[in-house]
Structure 1
Amino acid sequence: MRDFRFSFNIFGFDSRDALLDRCRHGESAGYDTVFAADHLGAPAPFPLLVAVAGATGLRVGTLVLNAPFWNAALLAREIATTDILTDGKLEVGLGAGHMKWEFDAARIEWKPFGGRVEQLSEMVDGLRTSFTMDFDELPEGRTVPRPLQRRGFGGSGPPLIIGGTGDRVLRIAAAHADIVGVAGTFQIPGRPPGTFRLATADEVAERIRFVRNHAGARAKDIEWHLLVQLVVETDDRRAAANEIADRLGGTMSVADVLGTPYVLVGTVEEMTEQLRSHRERFGFSYVTVHEPYLEVFAPVIRRLREQS
């Protein structure tokens, strides 16, 4: 069974000092990694990650890059340069994109889901090729940046994270990813793209079985990633779960809220036990919380470290 790793993502910042203070605080609280997303309205991921890695001991990563936003050769340059400048601390998360308004605002074609999944698959292959490609026509004195790490992309680049819930994305994850996240969100039928509900525990278990079956011999080497959507510290789990179920608009029962790995609710001891249970049942050992929960989740990290 893998040891736990803990991470948080950055939603935004007002200044360099504010960003670095936040990340130093996260490091002192026991977090291992800081992630940046790839959304319009959020900071550009790669400069953020270079700044954080230069000022802390944290690993850094993307959670996740929207594959349709990028060209493989240019993204390979960004990844390789960032891996070098962070001394090999980079983890690369890739996704198919799910917010149509971002594509519209950037004037990037919004393809049906199958088309975006194909773009994701092509990106994985394209990055692997770009990391090993020789350029015969470089001007004298120029060199191609290569990633320092040789853990992902067939041994040519940084560790690769792929997450999702659908069969097509999870097949790609099973075939290629070093770290697999079962995203835990399902598009609500008949609602605008990006309108999700959370997965139940049984749905998560089924999705993990799906990945393991398709990964074959690779399954034993996969690190399983959990993105927690909500952290609520309370002495009354059931009352809090009732409130959460109401806020979720009836898409989950109280029992579902208490069982899903994407909601942590209870005392520090109860949340600690939830994560231990989720690691035992699902394999989740790499746990990310959203930045607003950095503080409330920190005592859970300390308790798990004390018990390990």
Structure 2
Amino acid sequence: MRDFRFSFNVFGIPSREALQERCRRAESAGFHTVFAPDHLGAPAPFPVMQAAADATEHLRVGSLVLCAPFWNPALLAREAASLDVLSGGRLELGLGAGHMKHEFDAAGIPWEPFGARAGRLEETITELRRFFTTDLAALPGGHSPAPVQKTGFDGSGPPLIVGGTGDRVLSIAARYADVVGVAGVYQVPGKPPGTFRLGTAGEADERVRFTREQLGARADDVEWHLLVQAVVPSDDRRAAAADLVSRFGGEMTVEEALDTPFLLIGTPAQMAEQLRASRERYGFSYITVHEPYYEAFEPVVELMRG
């Protein structure tokens, strides 16, 4: 059973100093990684990751996750290799197929059917592996950096994170990823892209089981990632869950809210117990919370670190 790793993602950068102070505090509190998302309207991920690396000594930096259709693989390989060098080998590269249609529309990037976007994700992974090995260094000039880490991309680059909910993306994760994430939100059928509902414990069971079957002999080699959608401190878990359910519009029952791995509810000790139970049940040991819940989650990290 793997040791826990804890992380948070960055939603905004009020200032360079504020971002770097948050990262230094997280490192001191026992967090292992800070992640930058890749959404139009959010800060650019690579500068955020570099600023975080510059401010800390050991905190790893990563993307959760880059939208593959936004990136040219050769240019992405250059960005990733450069950051891996400049961070001292602390990069974790997360890739996804993209799911926010309005971002594609705003950027003037064609919105393709999911199968095509998943295909582009797989193509990006294989192209990155190719560029990390020989192609960039062979270009005229010969000064393109190679990644420091040789753990992902078949031993040519940094660790690769891939996650999702659908069969296609989870199968891609099973073939290539070092870290596999089972996403906590599901597209609501018949609603505009980006309209989500929270996943249940039963759905997490089924998705982990499916991915393990795809992984085969690799099932015990990958690290399992959990993105927690909300952290709710409370001395009364059931009352807090009932309040959440009412805000969700009744899409879950109270029991489902208490059981899902994608919510943490209760005292720090109760949340820590939830995480231990999720690791035992699903294998989730790499835990990320959204930045607005950092303050609520920090006592849990400090408790589990002790």
Report the TM-score, using the length of structure 1 for normalisation.
0.97
Match of 1:53 in 2: 53
Residue 210 of structure 1 aligns with which residue? 210
SS at match of 2:64: strand
Q: Is the 8 A contact 2:245 2:253 kept in 1?
A: yes
CA distance in 2, matches of 1:33, 1:48: 13
Q: Could you list the per-position Cα deviations for residues 29-80 of structure 1 after superposition, in whole angstroms to 9, with x for gaps in the alignment?
A: 2111000011111111111111111110210000000000011111101100
Q: How does 1:116-127 map to 2 (within 5 A)?
A: 116-127=117-128
Please give the root-mean-square deviation of Cα atoms over the aligned residues, in Å. 1.1
User: What is the rounded CA distance, in whole Å, between the counterparts of 2:216 and 2:114 in structure 1?
Assistant: 26
Shift of 1:14: 2.1
Per-residue deviation, residues 194-252 of structure 1 (Å, max 9, x unmatched): 11111111110110011110111111101000000000110111111111011111111
2:105 matches 1:104: yes
Aligned to 1:278: 278
**Separation in 2 of the partners of 1:245 and 1:186?**
16
2-structure distance, mates of 1:139, 1:176: 30
Distance 1:295 1:260 in 2: 21
Amino acid at match of 1:268: P
Which segments of structure 1 move beyond 6 Å, counting only runs of 4 or more? Answer: none
Equivalent residue number for residue 91 of structure 1: 92
What SS does the corresponding residue of 2:210 show, helix, strand or coil? helix
Which residue number corresponds to residue 185 of structure 1?
Answer: 185
Greater shift, 274-283 or 297-306, is seen at 297-306
Judged with a 3 Å threshold, the aligned counterparts in structure 2 of structure 1 residues 244 and 156 are, in CA distance, closer, same or farther, namely: same
Partner of 1:78: 79
Query: Match of 1:221, SS?
Result: coil
Q: Which moved more, 1:48-57 or 1:90-99?
A: 48-57
Distance 2:135 2:277 in 1: 47
Structure 2 counterpart of 1:99, one-letter code: M
Cα distance between partner residues in 2 of 1:288 and 1:136: 34
C-alpha contact (below 8 Å) 2:184/2:229 kept by paired residues: no
Indicate the percent of aligned positions where both proteins have the same amino acid.
Answer: 64
Give the stretch that moved more between structures: 47-56 or 280-289.
47-56
Shift of 1:22: 1.2
Aligned to 1:236: 236
The aligned residue for residue 69 of structure 2 is 68
User: Which SS does the other structure have where 2:65 is aligned?
Assistant: strand
CA distance in 2, matches of 1:295, 1:77: 35
- The separation in 1 between residues aligned to 2:138 and 2:243, in whole angstroms, is 62
Q: Which residue of 2 aligns with 1:246?
A: 246
Deviation at 1:138, TM superposition (A): 3.8
Matched residue type, 2:115: G
Instruction: Tell me how far apart the structure 1 counterparts of residues 165 and 269 of structure 2 sit (CA, whole Å).
Output: 29
Corresponding residue for 2:115?
114
Instruction: Letter of the 2:275 partner, please give it.
Output: L
Give 1:134 deviation, angstroms. 3.5
Residues in 1 aligned to 2:304 and 2:99: alpha-carbon distance in whole angstroms: 33
Gaps of 5+ in 2: none
| Matched AA of 1:222 | V
Letter in 1 for 2:216: G
Shift of 1:133: 2.4
Cα distance in structure 1, aligned partners of 2:284 and 2:137: 44
Q: TM-score, with normalisation over the residues of structure 2?
A: 0.97
Match of 1:175? 175
SS at match of 1:226: strand
Aligned counterpart, 2:300: 300
SS, match of residue 21 in structure 1: helix
Q: CA offset at residue 135 of structure 1?
A: 5.6
Classify 1:279/1:60 alpha carbon distance in 2 versus 1 (closer, same or farther; 3 Å): same
Secondary structure at 1:220 match in 2? coil
Partner of 2:25: 25
Separation (CA, whole Å) in 2 of partners of 1:138 and 1:118: 27
Q: Which digits, 9 at most, give the CA deviation of each residue in 1:274-301, with x for residues without a partner?
A: 0000000000000001111111111111
Question: Paired residue for 1:147?
Answer: 147
Shift of 1:25: 1.4
SS at 2:203 equivalent? helix
C-alpha separation in 2, matches of 1:241 and 1:80 = 43
- Once the two structures are TM-superposed, the CA of residue 267 in structure 1 deviates from its matched residue by 1.0
Q: Does 1:158 align with 2:158?
A: yes
